[in-house]
Each structure stands twice: as structure tokens, then as C-alpha cells.
Amino acid sequence: MKTDGSGAHDIKMWTPATVATVLVMLGGAGVAVYRLVSGLGAATRLSDSFPWGLWLAVDVLGGVAMAAGGFIVASMVYLFNMKKYKPITRPAILTAFIGYFLAIVAILLDIGQPHRLWHPAVMWQIHSVMWVVAIHVMLYTTTLALEFSPMFFERVGWHGAARTVQKIMVPVVLFGALLSVLHQSSLGAVFLIIPGKLSPLWFNTKLPFLFLVSAVMMGLSMVGLEAILSSRAFRHPMDTEIFKGLAKALTWVALFYFVLKMYFLVAGPGLAAAFDGSMESRMYLLEMTLSVILPLLLLLGTKMKESVSGLLVIFALVIAGVLINRLNVGIFGLYRHNAASGGFYFPTWMEFAITAALIALAFFIFKMAARHLPLLTSGAASEH
């Protein structure tokens, strides 16, 4: 593998997986055009009873939670000086950047007036959590672009610019961490306004904090999963101590999250609410099993954490579990209340197509960055 800062050109461009990815993206692009010219009613099953659907729950809430790995790893390396994790800093920052970029694309398609996306930037309404969220997305995406820029500068040979950004990296990372903590928790705060609608299995006034902690779990797992997958796919060897370190951090955070969730279950609707056989209780148990119970059992009770393949499974479980948590808060926990007025919601194929295309786009951008930018390698400027 070349290490001159110009990427890994030995990564094969057109594998069957990449061809499939591009096809899904093209399909999604077609649906996106249809959505923009025909409107939300034509493309989605959203209605007055279900104003928010798949795009918000998965693409926005899920996508942003997946991006949490960026600020976690950047903080570990630049603020806590944990040099061990330096090799995964760039992939983590790129993932965060992709996550936010895709969330913005999803928001653009989801809002009724896409050409007014910029309105929150000039029409301030500080009492709105959504406004807080919008400002964070704008500021943090800019911050991530700055954190990401050395890769680009090294690629085009502007080593002076790369060095300049590296010099201010500590304050930039601190600013990014600040925005991330607020943004992840703000997404939970969005749902504070609906105590009468959201099932008590999920609603409580500490929802912002629960969103933040679960985003940390998701971020650690995402970075781990991606480092394992990319080291395999691009035949780029990586120190397994990195994965084990991430898994150790994940264990502590998941234990903390489990205690929090149990406290809010018992203090809130009561333990029985999780076992009453309702749709909500089943979704709650599924979420808890995938996001914390199974991963913790595997991490603490088995030797799976010793092997890279075992860690891969654990990371994937946590990602799926937290994703279901976002689906539960955004859709399933509200379903009973929303459907009471006679509506129903199941996404159209077009809603699924857009979500699939955005995930495909994430994989594609990551691969292109690995191939053409010093992502898995690091150029001369970053060594100082």
C-alpha cells in the first residue's frame, strides 16, 4: 500500500458490491427527483396522523447517532492524548462527516419547503429545540469539514494548509465535541414536548441524556465495526488492541446505559409495562436485548471479545439496537396515539428506497475516500 498521502489506489474500483451500491444510489436519486417534483404526499405515506416517518427516525436520528464516533475518537486522540487510536481518527471523522451530510440530504427531502432549508440560520427562535438542532447541524458539519480538510489538503499537495489546520486541531476538536454533546442530547429533547403522546416506556424528562449515552454506544460500535470491515475489505492490517479498547469502553458505557434504562423503567411505567405483551413492550424488549442485554452478556460472559469476528458481531448488535431505539422513539412509541385518530403508517417503497440509497451513498463515499484520500494511511503533515 502506498503511503505518499494520495490514498490507496490498489483498492479495486468495480467490485460486485460497489456495482450494487451504485445501482441503489441511482434508484434513490430517481425517487428523490420524483419526491421533489411531486411532493411528500405522492412519495411517502406520511399523513396528518403521522407527520414524521422513516426518514426522520432512521436517516436523521439514526444517522446522527452513528456519527457520534467522530467526536468520541477525535476527543480520545486530541484531548485525552490516547495515541493508540490515531489510526482510526480519520475514518471516524469521515464517518461523522458522511453521517451529517446524509442527515442533511434526508432533512432536505423530508421538509416540505426544501428551498427554505437555510431559514433557521436567519430566523432565530431560541425556544425551539429544532432550532437548536438546526444550528448544531450547520456548525458541526462545518467543524467536521475542517477536521476532515487535512486529508484533502494532503491529497492535492497543499501541505502548508494541512499543517495550519493540524495546529488548530485541539480547539477545533473541543468545539466539535461541545457541539456533538449538545446535538446528540438535543435530538432527544425534541421529544420532551409530547409527554401525552410518547409511550412512557420511552418518555421521561431525561430523554436528552439517554440519547447522548446511547449515541456514545452507537458511535463506539460504529467506529469499531467500520475499522474492522475496512481493514478486511481494503486488506489494511490494523492493531487489534484498538478494537479491544473500543469494546472495553463500550462495556462501561453500555453498563451505565443499562442502569439508566432500568431506573427509568422502574421509576416510570414500572417493570411490568415491559412485559405486558403490547406492541410497545415487544419493541422495547427487542431494543433492550439488541442494544445492551445481549452485547453485555457477550462482552462480560464469553470470550467473543478476544476475537475480531466476535467483536464485529457485538458492534453490529449495538448499532441495530440503538437504531431500533430511535425507531421506537420516533415511530413505534407514538404509534398508538397517532393511530387513534384513524390513520396508519407503513413507509412506501420510495421511503425505503431513499433510506437504502443514503446508506449505499455512505458506503460509496467511504470507499472513494479510502481509495483517493490519505484516509487509512496518513500523509507527512499529520505525523507532526
Partner 1 sequence: MANSVLIDMTRCIGCRGCQVACKAWNDRSVKKTVMNGNFTNPPELSSECYTHVRFVEKGVGGQPVWSFVKKQCLHCQTPACASVCPVGALRKTPEGPVTYEFERCFGCRYCMLACPFQIPKYEWEKVLPAVQKCTFCADRVKDGLVPSCIKTCPTKTMFFGSREEVIGEAKRRINGHPGKYVNYIYGKEEAGGTSWLYISNVPFQELGFDMNVPQYKLPDLTWSYISSIPVVIGAVFVAGIGSWYATRRQEVQEKEKEGKS
Least distance from partner 1 to the Cβ atom of residue 24, Å: 26
Q: Number of helices (H) and strands (E), helices first, in the chain? A: 17, 0
Footprint of partner 1 on residues 323-362 (CB under 8 A)?
341-342
C-alpha cell at 79: 484531548
Q: Is 112 in the site for partner 1 (CB under 8 A)?
A: yes
> Using CA atoms, how far apart are residues 200 and 275, in angstroms rounded to an integer?
13
Q: Is 74 in the site for partner 1 (CB under 8 A)?
A: no
Piece in contact with partner 1 (CB under 8 A), picked from 72-80, 159-167, 243-251, 375-383: 72-80
Residues composing the chain: 384
Piece in contact with partner 1 (CB under 8 A), picked from 4-12, 192-200, 220-228, 271-279: 192-200
130 or 320, CB closer to partner 1?
130
Q: Is 269 in the site for partner 1 (CB under 8 A)?
A: no
Q: Is 75 in the site for partner 1 (CB under 8 A)?
A: yes
Q: Is 184 in the site for partner 1 (CB under 8 A)?
A: no
> Using CA atoms, how far apart are residues 217 and 326, in angstroms rounded to an integer?
13
Least distance from partner 1 to the Cβ atom of residue 168, Å: 13
* Structural contact between residues 93 and 147, judged by C-beta atoms closer than 8 angstroms: yes
* Structural contact between residues 189 and 207, judged by C-beta atoms closer than 8 angstroms: yes
Q: Is 38 in the site for partner 1 (CB under 8 A)?
A: yes
Estimate the share of the chain in helix, then strand, then coil, as percent rounded to the nearest 5. Answer: 75, 0, 25
Least distance from partner 1 to the Cβ atom of residue 33, Å: 12
Q: What angle do CA 160, 165, 171 make, to 5 degrees?
A: 155
Footprint of partner 1 on residues 44-63 (CB under 8 A)?
46-49, 51-52
Per-residue binding string, partner 1, 199-238, x by CB under 8 A, is ------x--x------------------------------
Least distance from partner 1 to the Cβ atom of residue 130, Å: 4
**φ/ψ (deg, to 5) at 230:** -70, -30
> Using CA atoms, how far apart are residues 40 and 85, in angstroms rounded to an integer?
43
174 or 238, CB closer to partner 1?
174
* Structural contact between residues 225 and 312, judged by C-beta atoms closer than 8 angstroms: yes
- Residue indicated by cell numbers 445492551: 292
Q: How far is CA 33 from the centre of its chain?
A: 25
Q: Quote the radius of gyration of the chain (alpha carbons, Å).
A: 21
Q: Is 196 in the site for partner 1 (CB under 8 A)?
A: yes
Q: Is 41 in the site for partner 1 (CB under 8 A)?
A: yes
Question: With CB under 8 A, what is the number of residues at the site for partner 1?
Answer: 58
Got the DSSP string for 86-149?
HHHHHHHHHHHHHHHHHHHHHHHHHSS-GGGTTHHHHS--TT-HHHHHHHHHHHHHHHHHHHHH
* Structural contact between residues 47 and 341, judged by C-beta atoms closer than 8 angstroms: no
Nearest to 96 by CA among 126, 132, 64: 64
39 or 270, CB closer to partner 1?
39
6 or 49, CB closer to partner 1?
49
- Beta carbons within 10 angstroms of residue 195's beta carbon: 11
* Structural contact between residues 173 and 79, judged by C-beta atoms closer than 8 angstroms: yes
Residue from 132, 162, 201, 250 binding partner 1 (CB under 8 A): 132
Q: Is 42 in the site for partner 1 (CB under 8 A)?
A: yes
Per-residue binding string, partner 1, 80-109, x by CB under 8 A, is xx----------------------------
Least distance from partner 1 to the Cβ atom of residue 38, Å: 7
25 or 77, CB closer to partner 1?
77
Least distance from partner 1 to the Cβ atom of residue 347, Å: 15
Binding site for partner 1 (CB under 8 A): 37-42, 46-49, 51-52, 75, 78-81, 110-114, 116-117, 119-120, 123-134, 170, 174, 177-178, 181-182, 185-186, 189-190, 192-197, 205, 208, 341-342
